[in-house]
Structure formats: structure tokens, C-alpha cells
Homo-oligomer: A and B are copies of this chain.
Amino acid sequence: MNSALKTAGVIIIGNEILSGRTQDLNVSYIGKNLEKLGIVLAEVIVIPDVEETIIERVRSYSEKYDYVFTTGGIGPTHDDITTASIAKAFSVKLLRNPDAVACMQRHYDPGNLTEARLKMADIPEGATLIDNPVSGAPGIQIENVFIMAGVPEIMQAMLDGLADRLIGGPPILTASVSTNLTESKLAAGMSKIQDECAEVSIGSYPYFKGGELGVNIVLRSTDKSLLLEQLALIKTLIEKTGGAILETITLD
């Protein structure tokens, strides 16, 4: 879409997502917020809590993308192996970090800062902390990898605090229109509109609601005026094809 755009990869770490027991809600939050910063989420992978898998994927994503975000596995229990595995991925030691201990001391009553919790203050050498305003134990940045919590409320607070560390390109703008037509009726016309303007990417997303199929058409570009021009063409196409325009979101 634009070669100045930066890219990101997300690594979701957790058996509970793969088993279907927990519904991931982090990918959509990260994807939306990165777009605003002009960073394209290029790929997401969901992997189990297995050390060698975490090491291999973090190394490969760190080389491939400008930014890497991990979620999950940074708590105090036996299955929380993300931080130790990522330290190994970068061949550095884990050290008890005094700033991380101080963060946790501010959050917990003295008797509650157990040894299990203090494990969350063991940080890879050379890493910096990510503020956790929700539950004390910080996230971690090591090189271009941002290690965040899996609990959505905590992950969101961590990501919100990172905006000034993430340098993106121009923001990716989005507009959309939904209609009661099925997408097959619009397919040929949309394809023509897409072919004539590569700078605006047009996605067609069918939905199923109350027994009826409809379609959301989503346009994305870093160029606002081109985006609005193409949106107008799509709306005209829908009307000429006999469809109703159910909802238009011009920019978000």
C-alpha cells in the first residue's frame, strides 16, 4: 500500500487459546491501534507454551518485522515461561530488576509481594520496562520485541503506554459501506474499481445476520482524497445494482 509503512508481527502464546477455552481478544485491539500509528500488522501466530517454539518464533519475527508484540505467559506460575524463553532467544540472562521490584512494591501490600510474584521482576539483561497501571508487574521491551500480558485489560493498558516508542509511517485510513446485496452481485464492478486504483485496497466481507447474507466493503489507504473518491464509486455501484446502503463509515 505504501512502502514507508512499518510492519509488525504478533505472537500469541498460550495453550488456552489453541484449545479453544479462551477467546483471543488481543489481535483485534493491537491491529486497530497499530493502524492508527501507520504500522501494518502483517502476521499473527498462536503458539503453545513450549520453550523451543517461543525461542524460534521470536527470533524469526524479530528479524522479519519492525516490531514484534507477544501476549501471554508472563505471570507467576509454572506455565508462564515467556520471559525466560525470550531471554534465551536473545542469549541474555534474566536478572531481578530493581525498577520492576519498585513497580510491584507500589502495587502490592508488603506481605503480598511473594517470591512467586517477584519472579515477574526477573527481566532479560538490557531490556526496558513497559508500564502496567492495572496490576503492577511490568511488561518488557527487548530490542524490537514487546512482551505484554495476555489478560486483555492489562495488555491494552500496556499497549496504550507504548505509542511514543513506536515510530510508524502515515496513518492507514479506513472507510466502509455495508449493503444488503450479496457480494456476488457486486463482484465484477468492485474488481474493476480495484483494478483502476491500486493505492486504495478494497476488501469485501460477507456477513450473515438473521438468515440473510450481506456485505461490508472496506477501503483502506494512506491517501484521504483517493479513499473518498473510491468510496463514492463503490456507493454508486451499489445503487446502480439495486442495493440499499445500510451504513457508511467515512473515516475512523
Contacts and interface: CB of A to CB of B under 8 A. Distances in A.
Given A24-B27, A45-B45, A46-B27, A194 B78 contact: yes
Given A17-B27, A23-B28, A43-B46, A153 B202 contact: no
Size range of the chain A interface in the assembly: 35 or more
Contact of A205 (B12, B16, B174, B203): B16
Contacts of A78: 187, 190-191, 194-195, 202, 204
Nearest to A183: B77
B48 A35 contact: no
Given A27-B17, A44-B45, A116-B188, A75 B22 contact: no
Report copies per complex.
Answer: 2
A208 B151 contact: yes
Interface of A: 12, 14-25, 27-33, 35, 40-49, 75-80, 114-117, 119, 134-135, 150-154, 172, 174, 176, 183-188, 190-191, 194-195, 201-208, 213, 218, 220
24 contacts: A15-B220, A16-B203, A18-B40, A18-B42, A20-B29, A20-B31, A23-B28, A24-B27, A43-B46, A44-B44, A49-B203, A75-B184, A75-B204, A77-B186, A78-B194, A78-B204, A80-B204, A115-B188, A116-B183, A116-B188, A134-B208, A135-B213, A151-B206, A152-B208
